[in-house]
Amino acid sequence: MVFHALGDPMRFRIVEALRTGERAVNDLVDKVEIHQSGVSRHLRILQEAGLVQVRPEGQKRIYSLRPEPLRELNAWITSYRHFWEARLDRFAHALKQKQKRQLPDKKENSK
């Protein structure tokens, strides 16, 4: 749901625009060059994905980011970290071989 919401370029731009702080709808319209109705609909989708929240202020409606889904996204991507490191190892192997000579036998419990 979050990936889908961020998958649209316009919505991504809106999220990036909200990065620096809360914004009224028309402020966002000025940034992304689509019609106001489109921005409102994108905001709706972002809201349904939990990525933004609204706060009325007079006749304006102030949108801001909700950290929760971003935190979850971070958790998800973090769960792949071992995978990156495993990949890096391929290239880091030679380097480690070098290091072994510097630090002869440093707790080598991995196969």
Partner DNA sequence: CATATATATGCATATATATGTATATACATA
Partner DNA sequence: TATGTATATACATATATATGCATATATATG
C-alpha–C-alpha distance, residues 77 and 97, integer Å: 29
- Locate tokens 């625009």: which residue? 17
* Of residues 21 and 38, the one with the C-beta less far from DNA: 38
Q: Is there binding between residue 87 and its own copies (CB under 8 A)?
A: yes
Q: Other C-beta atoms within 10 Å of 72: how many? A: 12
- Locate tokens 């949108």: which residue? 63
C-alpha–C-alpha distance, residues 61 and 54, integer Å: 6
Q: Answer with the entry of its own copies, DNA, none that 17 interacts with (C-beta below 5 to 8 A by kind).
A: none
Q: Which of 6, 14, 28, 39 binds its own copies (CB under 8 A)?
A: 6
Q: Answer with the entry of its own copies, DNA, none that 42 interacts with (C-beta below 5 to 8 A by kind).
A: DNA
Q: Is there binding between residue 65 and its own copies (CB under 8 A)?
A: yes
- Locate tokens 């689509």: which residue? 34
Interacting residue ranges for its own copies, rule: CB under 8 A: 3-8, 12, 19, 65, 67, 70-71, 73-74, 77-78, 80-81, 83-84, 87-88
